[in-house]
């Protein structure tokens, strides 16, 4: 399978585009899904001037972002959508695959079948990384 490699400049531009879409939302904080979502969430936090949170327990009834780098199968975001604390959450990602069981509220591009390698990943990253296999 062929791969798409993003560099940091690509990511900064894509985060900027995402934040332009989010300016209409009245958001109190941003949470990043570990691992890749956390990096994107830090960038979004700086761009929008809202706090980065690492724990959801104080977010009941508040409108906040849940950010992931990619929504491919939807399994990760499904876990968050089931949490009551996330009832007012806005779900976003840089990339979204139409096969996903969850559609984020905002995304930048629809992923093709090419494997995406982000600058915080190793160039040799496997298509299904070991940590994902273990969590199933």
Q: How far apart are the first and last CA of the chain?
A: 23
In sign, the C-alpha dihedral spanning 20, 78, 129, 100 is negative
- Rounded average pLDDT over 55-76: 93
pLDDT tens digits for 2-21?
Answer: 888 999 999 999 999 999 99
pLDDT tens digits for 41-55?
Answer: 999 999 999 999 999
Helix (H, G, I), strand (E, B) or coil at 62: coil
Best CA proximity match to 65, nearest among 26, 36, 31: 31
pLDDT at 126 > cutoff 60: no
């Amino acid at each position: 399978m062929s791969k798409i490699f993003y560099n940091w400049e690509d990511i900064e531009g894509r985060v900027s585009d995402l934040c332009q879409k989010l300016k209409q939302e009245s958001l109190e904080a941003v949470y990043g899904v570990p691992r890749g979502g956390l990096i994107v969430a830090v960038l979004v936090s700086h761009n929008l001037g809202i706090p980065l949170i690492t724990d959801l327990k104080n977010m009941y009834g508040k409108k906040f972002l849940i950010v992931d780098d990619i929504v491919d199968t939807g399994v990760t975001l499904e876990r968050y959508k089931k949490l009551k604390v996330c009832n007012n959450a806005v779900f976003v990602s840089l990339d979204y695959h139409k096969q996903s069981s969850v559609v984020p509220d905002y995304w930048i591009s629809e992923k093709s079948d090419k494997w995406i390698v982000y600058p915080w990943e190793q160039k040799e990253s496997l298509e299904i990384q070991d940590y994902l296999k273990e969590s199933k």
